[in-house]
Structure 1
Amino acid sequence: MSAAATVAPAEPCGVTLGAAWREWLDEVFGDRPGTYGRYELTLRRVTAHLDPEGTRDVATVTGHEYFAALKALWGQRMPATWNANRAAVSSFLRWVRDFAEYAEVKLPPRCTSRTVVQDDTKAVDREDLDDLWDEDAVPLRERALWRVMYESSSRAKPVLKLNVPDVDLKRRRARVRLKGGRVVWIHFGELGARWLGELIGDRTKGPVFLTLRRPWNWASRSLDDMGPEGCFRLSYNRAEEIFKEWTRALGLSGDGVTFDFLTLHQLRHSRLTHLAEDGTDTPMLQQISGHKDPRTLHRRYTRPSSAAVSRHMRLVDQRDAQRRRQTVRKRPVAARPRGLPGARSRASRSRSPGADRPG
């Protein structure tokens, strides 16, 4: 395929841009609602940028125009965000080109993915996270949400979508829907179960995590999100804002370091890191985290935290010091070194100069 395919528009094929990407999503991702929703959001914004009237033929849009739209919409965003939206457009154009055969178009060569810097500081030490579970300082709803997320290693959105009937406090588990539509059990510990029980109380239906007052967009919210007394399901954006408000006010072990860098997702990251440090094997980590590819799991989560490395190095130093002490005790006296060749002995160094000289 020549580079001209990205520049010169092809002959119209009779299908609008909006109709083309909807056909692509229905055909390829109709049974995967999670992926469908993410790609739909990307293509909807690209279409609004390229075809505000909704009448443009898909074959008349060039690769350079798609590139310009990507730069305008996500050019200043983080590399991971750019890569995800670029991949969605690239997949759509591959379908347009190879399967639907609407047009020979692709992104220009300079529309490349960006390097994502690996951040190995996302895992927070267990002792530092204890401030988040302080019953005297943190409200019950926040404690229950954060602790269940941490103990279950779950993402925030599935936990926030929990309804009261989904929770099995006796077995310390809950039914959640993951990305891609898969329904699984997540498991949490004794502390999370106790706080969830206190939060739910005698309620038998409705969302588990509720707002304290009616949200501004309550009229457009689903009835499934409605709780008792005019309360609604706590949204992800509001949960993240509350988490930031609380963590900015909490210090780490009194050493002046703050929680400013923390996000809700780092509770999941920290938990999986801690489980790996404790020796949890890969199949169990996959089952807990929901990762299908173990390479993703190892690349992102199974790196020891900085605190774990510090503890390990202190243990290595203690063992090394003990070994050296035992080696010195076991070595015969005659075999112990008395000094370097040509150096004076300790006894000779202790005598004053000229002490053995005749007067």
Structure 2
Amino acid sequence: MGKTADRLGERRPLAAVADDEVGEALELLWGGAAVNTWNARRAAVLSWLAWCRERGHDAPSVPGWTKRMTVPDSQTPVRSRLAIDRLIAHREVGLREKTLYRMLYESAARAEEILGINIEDLDLAGRRCPVKAKGAARARRRGQGRADFMLETVYWDAGTARLLPRLLKGRSRGPVFVTHRHPGPCKVLSPRDVCPDSGLARLSYGQARALLDAHTALQGPGTGWDLHELRHSALTHLGEAGASLLLLMAKSRHRKPENLRRYFKPSDQALAEITSLLAPGDSRR
């Protein structure tokens, strides 16, 4: 709102601002921004002006020609199950990375969530654990502290279950995924981000991303896979296998179907298989 007010004239009365001026300010400030940024800024201005009108102020409206834009489909590549299995089985991929990649795929969780897990969080028998997920409760009881995250449960399967005990090697506390070197003396870390037994620090997102790129880049640094592709691929594979929308939303922990839809990119093989259902009866035998 601050940038919009500066553009319109901070000391001008709301009643003196025309609808088109609001639209022009939005276009000048965020007309060239990403779709999600445009939609978020437009929604913020729209909400604030509606709030002003509800309280009796003579406020302008966001003009109809500044429309909400449709969010484009994700451009994240979908990796085949075979490619993911080959990556994890590769002899040059270490046990730590094998476990991370398998856990990201089987849980369909965000990389930041999995990297943030501590050993004491794990329910190894139940193959699940709580993670700090994006978002926070909009309402909280009086006296409660504000949290910028909420705890949600992620689940994994046999592949991760086989690898985790080997990775932990009897450790019972501290980060699941740690670096192979001790942090420098000038680096300040939270006690939760350091293994109390070995002194090794939590593996960061940037370090994990660089490792995956090194394992998959075929055309030089920066051309390999991204960590998010494992989550994206998992959700696509579940969709191709016939998982219902409700189950997919529960697995991905999306709250809006349209946000999940952008993750689903059926493969050519899946499209060919479903097309075969339209063939004449004798052709399907």
CA contact (8 A) 2:22 2:63 kept: no
Q: 1:186 aligns to what?
A: 154
Q: 1:305 aligns to what?
A: 267
Aligned partners of 1:99 and 1:306: how far apart in 2?
52
Structure 2 residue runs of 5 or longer lacking an equivalent are: 137-149
Aligned partners of 1:223 and 1:284: how far apart in 2?
36
CA contact (8 A) 1:70 1:86 kept: no
Call closer, same or farther: CA 1:138–1:215 in 2, change over 3 Å: farther
TM-superposed deviation, 1:167: 1.0
Aligned partners of 2:166 and 2:192: how far apart in 1?
22
TM-superposed deviation, 1:163: 0.9
Aligned partners of 1:218 and 1:90: how far apart in 2?
43
Counterpart of 2:124 (choices 143, 155, 169) is 169
Q: 2:146 aligns to what?
A: none
List per-residue Cα deviations over 1:178-213 (Å, max 9, x = no partner). 223442321111111222222222222222122334
**What is the number of residues matched between the two proteins?**
264
TM-superposed deviation, 1:237: 3.7
Q: 2:174 aligns to what?
A: 206
TM-superposed deviation, 1:271: 1.0
TM-superposed deviation, 1:126: 1.3
CA contact (8 A) 1:66 1:107 kept: yes
The residue type equivalent to 1:82 in the other structure is W
Equivalent residue of 2:104, what SS?
helix
> Rg larger in 1 or in 2?
1
The residue type equivalent to 2:35 in the other structure is P
TM-superposed deviation, 1:269: 1.8
Equivalent residue of 2:134, what SS?
coil
Q: Does 1:288 align with 2:243?
A: no
List per-residue Cα deviations over 1:148-192 (Å, max 9, x = no partner). 111011112221211111112222211113223442321111111
CA contact (8 A) 1:67 1:107 kept: no
TM-superposed deviation, 1:137: 2.0
Aligned partners of 2:207 and 2:61: how far apart in 1?
39
Aligned partners of 1:179 and 1:187: how far apart in 2?
17
Call closer, same or farther: CA 1:231–1:169 in 2, change over 3 Å: same
Q: 2:104 aligns to what?
A: 149
Counterpart of 2:200 (choices 231, 254, 257) is 231
The residue type equivalent to 1:247 in the other structure is T
TM-score normalized with structure 2 length: 0.70
Aligned partners of 2:42 and 2:193: how far apart in 1?
33
Q: 1:131 aligns to what?
A: 86
TM-superposed deviation, 1:129: 2.0
Call closer, same or farther: CA 1:310–1:187 in 2, change over 3 Å: same
Call closer, same or farther: CA 1:202–1:261 in 2, change over 3 Å: closer
Equivalent residue of 2:130, what SS?
strand
Aligned partners of 2:258 and 2:37: how far apart in 1?
21
CA contact (8 A) 1:154 1:186 kept: yes
Equivalent residue of 1:288, what SS?
helix
The residue type equivalent to 1:83 in the other structure is N
List per-residue Cα deviations over 1:260-310 (Å, max 9, x = no partner). 47432221121122112222233332322223344543x234452224234
List per-residue Cα deviations over 1:321-352 (Å, max 9, x = no partner). 686xxxxxxxxxxxxxxxxxxxxxxxxxxxxx
Counterpart of 2:242 (choices 276, 279, 282) is 279
CA contact (8 A) 1:131 1:250 kept: no
TM-score normalized with structure 1 length: 0.58
Aligned partners of 1:250 and 1:129: how far apart in 2?
19
Structure 1 residue runs of 5 or longer lacking an equivalent are: 1-42, 252-258, 324-359
Q: Does 1:79 align with 2:47?
A: no
Aligned partners of 2:135 and 2:85: how far apart in 1?
33
Equivalent residue of 1:177, what SS?
strand
Call closer, same or farther: CA 1:202–1:301 in 2, change over 3 Å: same
Call closer, same or farther: CA 1:295–1:68 in 2, change over 3 Å: closer
What does residue range 1-359 of structure 1 map to in structure 2 within 5 Å?
76-95=32-51, 97-98=52-53, 104=59, 111-119=66-74, 122-181=77-136, 182-213=150-181, 214=183, 218-219=187-188, 221-228=189-196, 229-249=198-218, 260=223, 262-294=225-257, 296-297=259-260, 299-310=261-272
The residue type equivalent to 1:132 in the other structure is L
Call closer, same or farther: CA 1:141–1:199 in 2, change over 3 Å: same
Aligned partners of 1:142 and 1:58: how far apart in 2?
57
Q: Identity of counterpart residues, as a percentage?
A: 34
Equivalent residue of 1:212, what SS?
coil
CA contact (8 A) 2:175 2:194 kept: yes
List per-residue Cα deviations over 1:205-238 (Å, max 9, x = no partner). 222122334279832x433222344432233344
The residue type equivalent to 1:224 in the other structure is R
CA contact (8 A) 1:200 1:208 kept: yes
| CA RMSD, 1 decimal | 4.2
Call closer, same or farther: CA 1:101–1:295 in 2, change over 3 Å: same
Equivalent residue of 1:292, what SS?
coil
